[in-house]
Amino acid sequence: MTEQRLGLRIIRYDPETYDSSETREYEVPTRDSLTLLDALVSIHEEQDSSLAIRYSCRGGFCGACGVQVNGLPVLACRTRVSSLDCNGSPVEIAPLQNHPVIRDLVADFDPTFLTLGAGEPWIQSDEGSPGSGMDSDMTQEEVDRLGRSQACISCGLCDAAVPHAHVSAGFVGPAALVREFRLAADVRDGSDRDRLERVNTSGGIWDCDPDNSWDDACPVGIDPANKIELLREASIANKIGGRKRVESETAA
């Protein structure tokens, strides 16, 4: 039986020369169960140890292995190569869009984590909040309001799905806004008004066009675009923020 082989065309980046123009092609033997991460690890271990990749859990939990495949952001460990329809052409692999690159396929998440940290990503209970205190019981309805937002693995795939022009113009990205939603919607958090005010500042919920591609990119089904719509609705209901972008479009 003829051995099936998979071609991969990988964008390389060398931090010493700042050269991202180099593309190298590889081939690996493939099988139905092979993941893209398996293929990258086999290249690193058996063909080219200079190829930089990042992974940890190999099970879709740690969020470390995101790459662009044929232009779409995916977790390499959750992507079966048999699902990639390339019509016999090599699969194009590049580092995650909208993130600085450390080397080859390793994106720099420091800016993402700094942005997430700036949103004070912990529950801030106070006496006045309905569910103040970490031991508060939550009703099923209050838990349901959070949706899947608690499952975020900070993988940055939704940020990578945003058109680059929006990020260049200062849009903070869906991942940070999902984190703000998760806390603002939590009945135990007493700073929901501060959070809504923060997401209404420049680069926030009105400086983007929430898009289904963000939802498609999310490996844990959070629907980041929907969470931004919910933040917009909550802001309007609470008379917070400017809706600058929408108003300027209406006025045009």
Sites of contact with ligand FES (CB under 6 A):
55-58, 60-65, 75, 77
Give the footprint of ligand SF4 on residues 111-170 (CB under 6 A): 152-158
Torsion of CA 28, 72, 214, 145, to 10 degrees: -10
Give the footprint of ligand SF4 on residues 176-195 (CB under 6 A): 178
As measured in angstroms, the least distance from the Cβ of 157 to ligand SF4 is 4
Q: Is 77 in the site for ligand SF4 (CB under 6 A)?
A: no
**With CB cut-offs between 5 and 8 Å by kind, which of ligand FES, ligand SF4, none does residue 79 bind?**
none
If the CB atoms of residues 61 and 113 are measured against ligand FES, the closer one turns out to be 61
If the CB atoms of residues 55 and 113 are measured against ligand FES, the closer one turns out to be 55
Place of tokens 């933040």: 231
Q: Which amino acid is at 148?
A: R
Angle at alpha carbon of residue 72, lines to 207 and 70, rounded to 5°: 140
Q: Which amino acid is at 50?
A: S
Binding footprint of ligand SF4, residue count (CB under 6 A): 15
As measured in angstroms, the least distance from the Cβ of 209 to ligand SF4 is 16
Q: Is 175 in the site for ligand SF4 (CB under 6 A)?
A: yes
**With CB cut-offs between 5 and 8 Å by kind, which of ligand SF4, ligand FES, none does residue 157 bind?**
ligand SF4
Q: Which long-range contacts (CB under 8 A, 24 or more apart) does 79-83 make?
A: 79/35, 79/36, 79/37, 80/32, 80/33, 80/34, 80/35, 80/36, 81/6, 81/30, 81/34, 81/35, 81/36, 81/39, 82/30, 82/32, 82/34
If the CB atoms of residues 54 and 195 are measured against ligand FES, the closer one turns out to be 54
C-alpha atoms less than 13 angstroms from C-alpha of 209 in its C-beta half-sphere: 6
Query: Under the rule (CB under 6 A), what is the footprint of ligand SF4?
Result: 152-158, 174-175, 178, 217-218, 220, 222, 224
